[in-house]
Amino acid sequence: MSGAIVLTGCSKAIDFQEDVLMSDGAKMEINRVERLRLVCQELSCGWALDRSEIRMSGSTSKAWENRLVPLLLDKYEGKYFLVATTIYCNDPVFGHPNPDYIQFELSESGWKRTELKPYIFGRQANLLIAPDWNAGEPKKIDVSTKETRNKGAGVKSYKKIFTPITPNNC
């Protein structure tokens, strides 16, 4: 059974649940929505990320929503944080961060961007890095399946384990 794929005009959304293994060994379930738009250049068309959304199951807190690729959701000293990366080398909102990560922390008023904290480096991504935009995703993705997929050749190493160096691939 697949998660929902909703087509509207030149956009679609992929909706699925994901188990997230936190650094303290606890598991958390999140709901994810990947909103995509159809992009065409000359005779070639494909899907591009428009927005990612993450909502922690059972939480009343505001969803994280942004035009970034979410990589890591965890807690540090009792506070939730999320690390994401840009889609393009020079993002219209975030520019070209160095290193290639943007950090957010959850407060009472919602997710707020913060400066990168040293505790993110050396950690491994715990979110599904490359959802299947063409075929969609199963309704639920467990930790084992996600870890196998994140090890795939198409996932860049700096997105698997955070380093304080921005790769020179732009």
What is the tens place of the pLDDT at every residue in 115-167?
999 999 989 999 999 899 888 899 999 999 999 998 875 667 667 777 877 66
Residue 168 lies in a domain: no
pLDDT digits (tens, 9 = 90+) for 7-31: 456 889 999 999 999 999 999 999 9
| Predicted TM-score of the model (pTM) | 0.86
> What's the CA angle centered on 53, arms 48 and 59, to 5 degrees?
170
Residue 166 lies in a domain: no
Count the Cβ atoms, other than its own, within 10 Å of residue 10.
12
Residue found by looking up tokens 């035009």 in the block: 67
Overall domain count for the chain: 1
Provide the token pair at 16: 């699925």
CA dihedral of residues 41, 86, 100, 143 (deg, nearest 10): -110
CA 112 to chain centre: 16
Residue 165 lies in a domain: no
Provide the token pair at 100: 């290639």
Q: Which domain holds residue 118?
A: 4-160
> What's the CA angle centered on 167, arms 45 and 149, to 5 degrees?
60
